[in-house]
Structure 1
Amino acid sequence: MDTDVLDIDSSRRRIVDLTDEVRSFCRGRGDGLCNVFVPHATAGVAVIETGAGSDSDLLDTLERLLPRDDRYRHSHGSPGHGADHVLPAIVAPSVTVPVGDGTPLLGTWQSIVLVDLNQDNPRRSVRLSFVSG
């Protein structure tokens, strides 16, 4: 298994497109699977369309599902931080995509993104792993 770790700054964007980094990582590796994993308790990874409003729609939906208020038992950090700890149950901490001839086999409009609503920790590690098939 080949692996690499990306250091991502999510302070300016709550959805960070990782597609170019994943493509670069897979280039020249042949056929297999690429796993994208975020080892954090308050972030997730998703495959969505970006740039056409879907990313904003995802954020709006998550804000409705996970309001940032004082309802959470997990209450340290910024207001509503408990919602950040529930996020990975909705947006999984990893995705695996098939790779053919060194290219992630994503659909035309699909992008791989980091979803990070946590205002308390803007530095994220994202582990890319490739398993040959």
Structure 2
Amino acid sequence: MKRLALIAAFALAACSAADTSPSPDAVSTPDVSEAPAPIGAYMIVQGKDYAPGSLGPYAAALPPIYAKYGGRYVAFETDIDVAEGGSDYSAVIISAWPSKTAARAFWDSPEYREAIKLREGIGTFDVVIVGALPTQ
């Protein structure tokens, strides 16, 4: 049940991020036929000790902030397959960013500082930003 609630919350957020319908605040509508921007960095979030469904409002607040800073979800998993060592995390979420600077700008933004309040006291999360390997 916990896995289903988290998947639903992040799927809602990811689908909202992919919405290409015009909004009154939109400057321009993205051309969805174009390939995604090159990936310069990844943000990896590992979470544990949260209640099912408790992240819904937080997850729903993220898509417009991700879009503003160029981020997108690339992986979300609650059925973690540990190949070596140990992990007590319940979920891993990976997002792609144009650069480490863009990922950090998202993280430090006033919009995200407000959104993160929606998950205060809900679980434990470790977040790292790593540079992507150059494409060849």
**Same fold, judged at TM 0.5 (above):** no
**TM-score, normalised with respect to structure 1:** 0.30
More strand, by proportion: 1
More helix, by proportion: 2
